[in-house]
Amino acid sequence: MTGQVDDTALMRLVDGEATARERVDIEAAAAADPALAARLSALRMSDRRLRDAFPAAADPRDVDLARLIAASSDARKTPSAWSRISGVLAPAFAPRPIAVWGALAAAAFVAGVVVAPMLDQQRTYPGTFTVADGGRIADVEAVQALDRRLAAEGPDARGYAVGLTFRDADGHWCRTFSAARSGVAGLACRQDDDWGLVALSPFVGPKSEVRTAAADTPQVVLDAVDARLSGETADAAAEKQARDAGWRQAPVG
Amino acid sequence: MDETKGARRFIHYGRGTRLDGFQTELVALLPRLRRFARVLRPADADAQDLLQQTVERALSQRGKYRPGTRLDSWTFTIMRRIAIDEGRRGQRWARVVAPEDDTTAQVPDPGLASEALRTDALLARDAIFALPSEQREAVALVLIEGLSYAEAAEVLGVPAGTLTSRLVRGRQALIERLAAEGVTG
């Protein structure tokens, strides 16, 4: 690309709104032009500062709001709804969510084991990543990424990326993913019409300009992949085919 | 390792009584709704009021929500409308965050690694509150909430080009302000 790259183009790039072509052009231009690279990095820096300044943290007052929600419409008839929802929120009320997360991570990943048995109720992890009862991933954006995203496409506009795709011994499709903005990466396997969480790990997205999907997968997630992998990971063609077929369970062969 | 064998063991769907999808998703959204409320209303008590009203209205207008569309965008839209209506009535949020305000203790995230990072986050917070509200909303929806341009434009009820230009101007102002405060890298 020649000539001036304007702020709008740079902004579209960092927001994931640029086309693949625009991205390639701007990245090439930035590689050749220190001033442009500096503008790009200033943009990313201010974005990061802004996100740091507004964490999505649980608040004790959410309990009352959740009670209000639980009491509405259909759930009004179901007395167990509230007990369920208080369980949803209780883990989030420690004064320092990060510390809770650290303890959970330490407990869960000591031997690269599976976290899902702990996830009998919904939890919201730092950022916006949400897991419903039984380990089902309830984060709509993560589910969308797992359903539709191909590894080669890299992160979407909200920072969700998919890495490895493979089948487990039962023929269920599994995929590794990362959610940079929520600060988690993990492994999810297909179960009925949902994605069940198998492993989850704190994840720090690459700080540099180049963002890749699979290269930054945390070791605990890779270990979970190894424990579950049956045969080879899918190549791009097999990944696309499985996606287009709706991630149906394949016969065990 | 029987504990870990077979995802089916621990994954249960649709069993027993549970909140419906709308309710579950709305509860899960609370932290993000509160965050957006804090962008619209810097004072903590005002943000809480705004969040409460938003939840109430979302529940009462549930019939208008189209399943399959994004609940976050829908509730952000509701919240913003309430904020605008309130703003016309009172301007009570004009009392900008004082140092002793109770939000200061909660923001930024205490998990941030260093004092310097926390200070930077406070500066970033001041910087966004210094923006005109239409730029602040655009910046919050895209940068903080992660909405696409099209989704953010819909929440704000503006054409995509308008959203883009607000975002560019808001960001330029943020960068200049942060640079002036000596926040780098």
pLDDT at position B136: 95
Distances (CA, A) of A213 to A43, B133, B157: 22, 35, 33
Contact check, Cβ <8 Å, B23/A75: yes
Check whether B1 has a pLDDT greater than 90: no
What tens-digit pLDDT sequence spans chain A (253 residues)?
434 678 899 999 999 999 999 999 999 999 999 999 999 998 998 888 888 888 887 788 888 888 888 887 554 444 444 444 444 444 443 222 232 333 344 444 332 323 333 343 444 544 456 777 667 787 778 888 999 999 888 888 878 889 889 898 888 999 998 887 767 788 899 988 888 888 777 666 554 434 444 456 777 777 788 888 887 788 888 899 999 999 987 765 4
Interface check for A105 against chain B (CB to CB < 8 A): the answer is no
Q: Other C-beta atoms within 10 Å of A100: how many?
A: 18
- Which B residues, 24 through 43, put their C-beta within 8 Å of a C-beta on chain A? 24-28, 30-32, 34-35, 38-39
Would the CATH topology of B3-85 be identical to that of B110-180? no
How many angstroms separate the CA atoms of B50 and A229, rounded? Answer: 48
pTM value is 0.53
- Which B residues, 67 through 106, put their C-beta within 8 Å of a C-beta on chain A? 70-72, 106
**Class in CATH terms, B3-85:** mainly alpha
Evaluate whether B121 touches A47 at the Cβ level (below 8 Å).
no
Per residue in B151-170, pLDDT (tens digit) is 999 999 999 899 999 999 99
First to last CA, chain A: 50
Q: What is the mean pLDDT of residues B60-73?
A: 90
Q: Which fold has domain B110-180?
A: Arc Repressor Mutant, subunit A (1.10.10)
Domain positions in chain B: 3-85, 110-180
Average pLDDT, chain B: 78
Per residue in B6-31, pLDDT (tens digit) is 332 222 223 333 578 888 899 889 99
Interface check for B8 against chain A (CB to CB < 8 A): the answer is yes
Q: Considering chain B, what percentage of its residues have pLDDT values greater than 70?
A: 72
Contact check, Cβ <8 Å, B7/A141: no
- All residues of chain B having their beta carbon less than 8 Å from the beta carbon of residue A56 are 31-32, 34-35
